[in-house]
Structure 1
Amino acid sequence: MPGIIGKKIGMTSLFTPDGKNIPCTLIEAGPCVVTQVKTVETDGYSAIQLGYGEKKAKNTTKALAGHFAKAGTTPKKKLVEFRTDEVANFTAGATIDASSFEEGEFVDVVGTSKGKGFQGVVKRYNFAGVGGQTHGQHNRGRHPGSIGACSWPSRVFKGMRMGGRMGNDRVKVQNLKVMRVVADRNLILVSGSVPGAKNSYVVLEK
């Protein structure tokens, strides 16, 4: 199985047999439905498309409604495609759930980080500010200071660390250990933190 779509439920912790407390993220992994199987002969590459989450038919476009009907499933909220060379093992309409994971294996989790809006350099890049409130400075505590541009180069170099939009980026966290699998409820516990807010969509890759 190349991967699965899920939802971040929240965080908790587990105690190992030797007494260590491991912070974990609780993820609802599936159930996902195979909505399309792509092959080299028909699409030029091999992949499977998974759908997750129930969506009302009235909120689904006719094109997508026909796409889901062809796969023999109800409309889904989230669609993700996974490249794989093992497309022969999948059929449209099949279900993939948390039982495909095993305790002790490692996964990569992809999510969208929390959006924080426009932020300054102190919050965005951990700058210290320009100094204290003395020597005539009373309102520069969190400012970036000089950015180096003068008569040369007469412009700001690309990549200069300045204030700007922070968060709401695609983030992948690699090699998170699967600590526990609750297959009957489609829940898994992975060690460490996962990007995104509660109830946000995540993609687990093996």
Structure 2
Amino acid sequence: MKGILGRKVEMTQIFTENGKLVPVTVVEVLPNTVLQVKSLGSDGYVATQLGVQDKRTNLVNKPETGHFKKAGSAPKRFVKEIRNMEGFTFGQEIKAEDIFTSGEYVDVTGISKGKGFAGAIKRHNYSRGPMGHGSGYHRGIGSMGAIINRIFKSKKMAGHMGHQKVTIQNLEVVAIDSLNNLMLIKGSIPGPKNQFVQIKQNVKGLKALTAATLLNRNAKVETPVVETVAEEA
């Protein structure tokens, strides 16, 4: 397993050389710092703890300060561990191009957008009743089950919608811009703008595709030279 931490920036679209339009999400992947390496002998499982994006020291308590100081790193805003990730050393910096390549499939995990309190129809995709005035039932929650003076567990009702951990699988890495620390991932990923996400190796094991060649809009195109032939008198 391998992975890296990043921050969702926005969505945009790019073109390949053959004119195909590809919708992509731009993810800022600053160099990740290895804060802790967990092993089977000392911790009972294998994992690598990563941190990204510095934050002020006055926002960190004493235990966290000692943890970051031990790794020789500045305090990090987003810290996550990735299970079964090994082969990296304590305090090492990891970049996106060290982990992934263009054409590879990844799984992206983030916190979905919060929608507040929502009814059963919006939250669980229930069907509504007839909208005629005489029906008396329009957007109700439906049957509450057997009449035993209580509601069964896991009954789908109105409540807080969104703001949950969501993973979208098998998204293609279209391109990696190492100069600007950006990754272009095909399609949409969970969460609002500026939301931190985890980008991990896909668990379903889909093989990587051939990297698409993107259209370079800044490339200079040489204009053909047209020779004019003078007409004879």
TM-score (norm 1): 0.89
The residue aligned with 1:75 is 75
Instruction: Give the aligned residue type for 1:147.
Output: S
Change (3 A) 1:136 1:93: closer
- The alignment partner of 2:197 has SS state of strand
Q: Could you tell me how far apart the structure 1 residues matched to 2:113 and 2:49 are? A: 26
Q: Could you tell me how far apart the structure 1 residues matched to 2:85 and 2:114 are? A: 35
Provide, for residues 114-165 of structure 1, a one-character-per-residue CA deviation record: whole Å limited to 9, x for no partner: 111110022112333221132164xx53222x314343x4432333222111
Q: Could you tell me how far apart the structure 2 residues matched to 1:178 and 1:129 are? A: 40
Q: Tell which deviates more after alignment, 45-54 or 170-179.
A: 45-54
Instruction: Give the aligned residue type for 2:143.
Output: I
TM-score (norm 2): 0.79
- The alignment partner of 1:184 has SS state of coil
Provide, for residues 4-34 of structure 1, a one-character-per-residue CA deviation record: whole Å limited to 9, x for no partner: 1110001011223443322111101231100
Question: How many percent of aligned residue pairs carry the same amino acid?
Answer: 42
Q: Could you tell me how far apart the structure 2 residues matched to 1:161 and 1:82 are? A: 32
**How many residues of Structure 1 are paired with residues of Structure 2 in the alignment?**
200
- The alignment partner of 1:68 has SS state of helix
- The alignment partner of 1:123 has SS state of helix
- The alignment partner of 1:178 has SS state of strand
Q: 2:190 is matched with which residue: 168, 191, 195?
A: 195
Q: Tell which deviates more after alignment, 167-176 or 31-40.
A: 31-40
Instruction: Give the aligned residue type for 1:143.
Output: G
Change (3 A) 1:182 1:158: same
Change (3 A) 1:149 1:37: closer
The residue aligned with 2:13 is 13
Instruction: Give the aligned residue type for 2:115.
Output: K
The residue aligned with 1:186 is 181
Structure 2 unpaired stretches of 5+: 202-233
Asked whether the equivalents of residues 2 and 85 of structure 2 are also in contact (C-alpha less than 8 Å), the reply is no
Deviation at 1:63, TM superposition (A): 1.1
Q: Could you tell me how far apart the structure 2 residues matched to 1:90 and 1:149 are? A: 54
Provide, for residues 53-74 of structure 1, a one-character-per-residue CA deviation record: whole Å limited to 9, x for no partner: 1111111111111111111111
Which aligned pairs between 1:131-150 and structure 2 lie closer than 5 A? 131-135=130-134, 137=136, 140-144=137-141, 146-150=142-146
Q: Could you tell me how far apart the structure 2 residues matched to 1:49 and 1:149 are? A: 46
Provide, for residues 67-110 of structure 1, a one-character-per-residue CA deviation record: whole Å limited to 9, x for no partner: 11111111111111112263xx3111111112222100011000
Structure 1 unpaired stretches of 5+: none
Which aligned pairs between 1:36-185 and structure 2 lie closer than 5 A? 36-84=36-84, 86=86, 89-100=87-98, 101-135=100-134, 137=136, 140-144=137-141, 146-151=142-147, 153-185=148-180
- The alignment partner of 1:35 has SS state of strand
Asked whether the equivalents of residues 99 and 186 of structure 1 are also in contact (C-alpha less than 8 Å), the reply is no
Asked whether the equivalents of residues 178 and 188 of structure 1 are also in contact (C-alpha less than 8 Å), the reply is yes
